[in-house]
Amino acid sequence: MPRSILAEANLHEAIRPQVLGYHADIIAEVQGAIAANKIVIVGMRWNDAVWQARKLLQKAGQEFHYIEYGSYTSGWRKRLALKMWTGWPTFPMVFVNGTLVGGGSDLKALMKSGPI
């Protein structure tokens, strides 16, 4: 079932540029990292789930690219843009071969099922 997203045509013309440009630089940065790296983790400081995902890949000898946007008290607008873009509500966001696989526990389950 496809995720419901408000169509651009349903945005009033006065707010369309604001909505479409909301931290577009952050989205572009993550898209570039995804295109250039097999595994990308997008996270935030002081988040245990992010730390665990990174540690899991390090122990497995998997190379990955890590991008960090703030902490619990900073960078939330950038992280909100990423949540809106992906539809994924938590961090980390883990991408493998250009596909969002979920968060830390999803990465762990994927690695248990076989090589990534």
- Annotated domain spans of the chain: 38-116
- Determine the average pLDDT of the residues in 29-34: 98
Task: Say what the pTM is.
Answer: 0.93
Q: ∠ at Cα 53 (102, 39), nearest 5°?
A: 65
- pLDDT of 3: 87
| Spatial CA neighbour of 33 closest among 97, 107, 108 | 97
| Spatial CA neighbour of 108 closest among 55, 64, 43 | 55
Is the pLDDT confidence value at 75 over 90? yes
In a 3-state reduction of DSSP, which class is residue 67?
strand
Q: Are 104 and 52 in contact (CB under 8 A)?
A: yes
- pLDDT of 109: 97
Is the pLDDT confidence value at 73 over 90? yes
- pLDDT of 116: 86
Amino acid in the structure at residue 64: F
What are the residues whose beta carbons fall under 8 Å from the beta carbon of 68, sequence distance 6 or more?
Answer: 42, 43, 44, 45
H-type helices in the chain, by residue range?
16-20, 24-36, 48-59, 76-86, 104-113
Band the pLDDT of 78: cuts 50, 70, 90.
Answer: very high
Under CATH, which number does the domain 38-116 receive? 3.40.30.10
